[in-house]
Structure 1
Amino acid sequence: MNLSLANRVSALTPSTTLAITAKAKEMKAQGIDVIGLGAGEPDFNTPQHIIQAAYESLMEGHTKYTPSGGTAQLKEAVIHKFKRDQNLIYKPSEIIVTSGAKHALYTLFQVLLNEGDEVIIPTPYWVSYPEQVKLAGGNPVIVEGKQVNSYKITPEQLADSITEKTRALILNSPSNPTGMIYSTEELKAIGQVCLENDILIVSDEIYEKLVYDGSVHTSIAELSDELKEQTIIINGVSKSHSMTGWRIGYAAGNNTIIKAMTNLVSHSTSNPTTTSQYGAVAAYMGDQQPVEEMRKAFEERLNIVFEKLNNIPGFDCLKPQGAFYLFPNVKEAALLTGYDNVDIFVQALLEDAKVAVIPGSGFGSEDNIRLSYATSLEQIEQAIERIHEFVLSKSK
């Protein structure tokens, strides 16, 4: 048997988090008290009214296929959400519902990119962006969002990165992993560059509801009719309504692109899970108070643990404005404790301090680590205390 793999798969970069995750699970299985701060999902259950709606849909016999691009009811709920939250108007033909926001992104790049097309991706980036671009035959063009600029790129950096092959820019605000948010003025300036160069804006807004300390999320599509036409919004209910396992995301934008995406999923995944779609309708059309309660809980955790983290020698962390991650620069801490790079420092944290964090190299920022506060406050505080003690003991 010929076991050679397709080039598109062979070109994928192995996840830097796999070894850490596997090692942490192995240690836990051995009864070792490991605290994991790698979670990329809320630690709250899905709100009860959403669960109830999904249950009722099953009892009513809604267990069959739906249209590949999502039910009419869910598309209308998404349209309602855009109008309510951002005063954006979309038609059903401009919406596709997918099996999670990741699937929306994957499908978008598959229909958008030809071999050699370029997609500009600011660092730090969510780990799947470059890989999805490569899987579609495109080339990721990495542009550094510097710490001095709150890990955001500037219009000048964007303009300097554009070539005749540039097809799209990915914007993730609030960001995973940094939690930073692009301001309205920053979005206007970046949007102008995209308009002048006819570059599609892929706006990943999955963390839009999780913003703190008075910060405000603005979609670049809100700023003008021209920018709305130039933008594909990617979103879903995973983070906002604690529905990660339900796998419901969506894309909104130009109907030609949305139609192509719908055609593609009709030959790949078919429809998103029927029951989950009924739950997502309830998520957007029902009580939004659970969303706010979860947001407040994350905000409280952030405000408690942020200073404690920054008190660790060699840790330099900007306070995030959204999402549920802390992304400190720990290069100095690694050097203080005798490690040449942060990846080795992360391994030592797991083995000696029994704390699992994600190395920043997986996000295009090798001097950082990502810690999630989507876990109990007690666990987060204990983990930070262990890290602090580890750095102090190794620095002597």
Structure 2
Amino acid sequence: MKIIILVNNNNIGDNNNASGICYDINSEQATFPVTSINIEDPNALQTACKPDDFTILIGAGNQCLAPLQTIKEALGDQCHTIWSGHQIFDELTSFLPFIDTMALPSHTIEPAFKNKLPSSCSLIETIGIPHNLRAADLEQEFKKWNGRLQIDRPCLLVMLGGDAPEPDGTMKFYKEDEAYRLGIASGKMAQDEGYHLIAANGPRTGKHNPVTGEVRQAAHRPENLHHEEASDPVSEAFLKGLKESGIKETDYIFEDFRFLPKENGGGVRSVYKPALQAVIKSGGKIIMAGESTSMVTECCDMTPSGSVYIVNNSAMNNTHHRHIDTVEKSGAARVLDFTETGEFTIPAQNIDQTNAPYMPATRKIALTVLEKINMGVPEQKLSNRIMARPEQKPDL
């Protein structure tokens, strides 16, 4: 038995989706040889169509559907296909007969779509999106910061939100006033509960002028500005609120997301992964915006239950709100509100037992597939990746 991953050079997110599923299938009790095939390489696709062993074929995203169909038609029952996506689109229906296991976030699925599924296609409803982030990745990134992130006390990671589009492309904006309010509330929380606060933004924070819609070219690409200084107005508003909360300068750090100059090798500078590991190591908490489905999923998957707090914001569309609703009802995270005095309050949580306890998407997919091909694997043996269950804190 072997695994083939369909790789799309134009979409890293889809590749991470498929690789994460593969990682959890290749458990301690079921280690299969893995081959990655570029969907734009006709010779590799032709080779994959030659039957030599039972194949688990994994693809993610719309561009992998046609190659998946080609290989499935060639291998037939000697191939179990897995397709994972983050939304439903019109052309997906025509590929359903060639998908044995389909994974989609539950908040994207309508009853009408379920009625279209052939009996040969098993639908797995996940909370969030599969990813390939591992504990070893976080530890490696943490070490690169050479002790700059303090973990002698619990850390509070505050991730600012960013501008995000509606399904039709209309941009919604994460605004200065809500960032300012977040700064005040998170600063007060850090002081009240004794946290060391790590504040960070992302590439979408303050990206657009909310009045004109124009892209701010200098945001996260400044010249002669230290990385501890904000390069966009939204982050500046957050820092203003943070300082007005009364927090001491020694009790927090701020790191501005940066696109690094091409002449220096390019890439990005981000504290997200090192800070996430600092939270895990110190037993801290995370406060984050709700419009990044991938980041919310990663934080919920990599930390113990009760570690993640989500703040709704004006950049979130209806799909984002539905996702956060399923996350909260699964018990993986809590949603914060603000009091009239500018502090956080935690509303009562309504757990939906159909979604609880929370299980990472890759684990749920792997368990289902291994059972379907008659290679059931005990869940506790499934993966070496640190994927905390709601009642557990991961071993470090």
- State the TM-score, normalized to the length of structure 1: 0.27
Larger relative strand fraction: 2
Larger relative helix fraction: 1
Work out which structure has the larger RCO, using CA pairs closer than 8 Å and 6 or more positions apart in sequence. 1
- State the TM-score, normalized to the length of structure 2: 0.27
